[in-house]
Amino acid sequence: MHKPNLDAPVIAIDGPAGVGKGTLAHQLAADLGWGFLDSGAIYRVAALYALRHAIPLDNEEALVEAIRTLDINCQHALILLNGEDVSEAIRTEECASATSKIAALPKVREALLALQQSFQQLPGLVADGRDMGTVVFAHAPLKLFLTASAEVRAERRLKQHQAQGNQADFAQLVKDINERDYRDANRAVAPLKAADDARVIDTSTLSVAEVKALVVAMLKERGYL
């Protein structure tokens, strides 16, 4: 694990699922030539490793010991674990369930905090997550918090399912989103919320291009473009 370079600027992008954080973060990182961190993927990789090695998901000490040995690399859409492409493997329902369990463990979050912070390297980093601006990169010069209504996010998720040839119930998707939002916002450790100095953007009626245009204007104000 590399030590973070505190001279490297960070764009911290937070918000719940389905607001367009990932797409925005990918495009900004590519345009700027900066590094990219998908913090959710980091948790999923740790969960995948635990599942593969039969590490009990409630054994904090064993999980932390394992995390310290992992070589995790985010190359935009490509997620590597010890050199292996696990981009697809971490997206299963089993992995998602395991991720939610280990993410609630304080010692695991502490161990993964250091790993995430190690991604801060020159020329800069775009970090996508739920506590990037409040915890992981609390001193980031630009913090964004994206939001959108549960209904809009459910419609986006429904289209994703349909594009993959899967069936999904819109009402159930809305219910699931609201329940996850509540859990994320009310958890004891690193709850989902906008940092005090974050720029909040409601993406409900905005296209990806429109959101990106707003952020590009902010970057120009700060001299990054």
Tell me: the pLDDT tens digits for 119-137? 999 999 999 999 999 999 9
What is the pLDDT at residue 76? 72
Residue 5 lies in a domain: no
Q: What tokens were used for 151?
A: 């209904």
Q: Residue 40 has what DSSP assignment?
A: H
What is the pLDDT at residue 75? 77
User: Which residue type, as a one-letter code, is found at position 160?
Assistant: Q
Residue 86 lies in a domain: yes
Q: Residues 155, 19: contact at Cβ < 8 Å?
A: no
Residue 116 lies in a domain: yes
What is the pLDDT at residue 143? 97
Global confidence as pTM = 0.87
Q: Which has the higher per-residue pLDDT, 92 or 10?
A: 10
Q: Could you give the number of structural domains in the chain?
A: 1
Angle (CA) 86-93-85 rounded to 5° is 5
Tell me: the pLDDT tens digits for 98-119? 988 898 899 999 999 988 999 9
Over residues 72-97, the mean pLDDT reads 88
Q: Which domain holds residue 111?
A: 10-215
CATH number for the domain that contains residue 205: 3.40.50.300
Over residues 135-156, the mean pLDDT reads 95
Residue 222 lies in a domain: no
